[in-house]
Amino acid sequence: MGLMPIGEFARLARLTVKAVRHYDAEGLLVPASVDQHSGYRYYRAEQVRTATTIALLRGLDVPLPVVREVLSAPDDATVAAVLGEQRERLAAELARREQALRTLDALRRAPERVPYAVGITDRAPVRLNGRTGRVRAVALDEDTGALCRVVLRELAEAGRAPLVAVFPLDLVDEFDVHVGVPAAGGDALLPGGPWATTLHVGPYPQLPLAYTALLENVREHGHRPVGPVTETYLTDPSTAEPEELVTRVAVALGAEG
């Protein structure tokens, strides 16, 4: 019948027996035969290609549903389309990681005090018209960017006024972010009173540098941050280079006691 035991099969596929069993448990690599008495698994040589495909995809962190989609694809065109989507995902992930490394380089080169000018002004209350969305702390830039794109599509006036994103002062695993533009009768209200503000010039992933400088200045001068925190995007990321992006970062302060 051309069957081989799991150990020999794993050797051919350059996998561990544990990995082969795991793929079976996930329903990705079902044995060609299982001995009813001993429970031993047996495989065919032609299943080696399937095992290698699974291992390569999982090594790229391709989700299990996508792996199943590749394995069950009816033709090469379908496989090519699925792999193309994964190639785009990996390229975006690589770009994100490269940006994180550049941010680390900027942090390493930065002096003890980052040269951000911080100002404190009294503001009148402002209403924002936009949308509220759920954001993950581990994907803050990605989720906020997606929310901004939704608002840009929905609000014509967003093309004429800078978008403002409103965040809580303290982050948790998931939280609500409101993105909108100033508008009378808007659905979100920014409180009036004292606000501390600074400008950041550079890529969005480097915004933590501005936050550190802003909040450290607030702390050193005895002010009390109460939130919310806002980011106002003063340049269009679709036309400006990442190093040219200008973002106003601000935090609401408590009244002086």
- pLDDT for 8-27, tens place per residue? 999 888 889 999 999 999 99
140 with 66, same domain: the answer is no
The reported pTM is 0.64
Q: What angle do CA 4, 12, 36 make, to 5 degrees?
A: 25
178 lies in a domain? yes
Cis? peptide before 125, omega within 30° of 0: no
Residue 181 placed within a domain: yes
In a domain, 135, yes or no: yes
Supply the range of the domain harboring residue 10. 3-72
φ and ψ of 248, to 5 deg: -90, 125
Which amino acid appears at position 136 of this protein? R
DSSP 8-class letter at 245 = -
Q: How many domains does the chain have?
A: 2
Indicate the residue among 11, 43, 72 that finishes a domain: 72
Same domain, residue pair 159 and 53: no
Judge whether 77 lies within some domain. no
Q: Are residues 218 and 133 in the same domain?
A: yes
Structural domain contains residue 83: no
Task: Tell me the C-alpha distance between 238 and 113, whole Å.
Answer: 31
Exposed, middle or buried by CB within 10 Å (0-12, 13-18, 19+), for 29?
Answer: buried
pLDDT > 50? residue 161: yes
Q: What is the CATH number of the domain that holds 152?
A: 3.20.80.10
Query: Is 55 domain-assigned?
Result: yes
Tell whether 152 and 228 lie within a shared domain.
Answer: yes
Please name the residues in contact with 33: beta carbons below 8 A apart, sequence gap of 6 or more.
Answer: 1, 3, 41, 42
104 within a domain of the structure (yes/no): no
For the chain, the average pLDDT equals 88
Phi, psi of 89 (to 5 degrees): -60, -45
* 126, 223: one domain: yes
Q: Are residues 66 and 135 in the same domain?
A: no
Q: Does residue 196 or residue 95 have the better pLDDT?
A: 196
Cβ atoms of 170 and 182 within 8 Å: the answer is no
Contact criterion met (CB below 8 Å) for 184 and 136: no
- Under DSSP, the state recorded for 45 is T
Band of residue 73 on the pLDDT scale cut at 50, 70, 90: confident
- Evaluate whether residue 24 is within a structural domain: yes
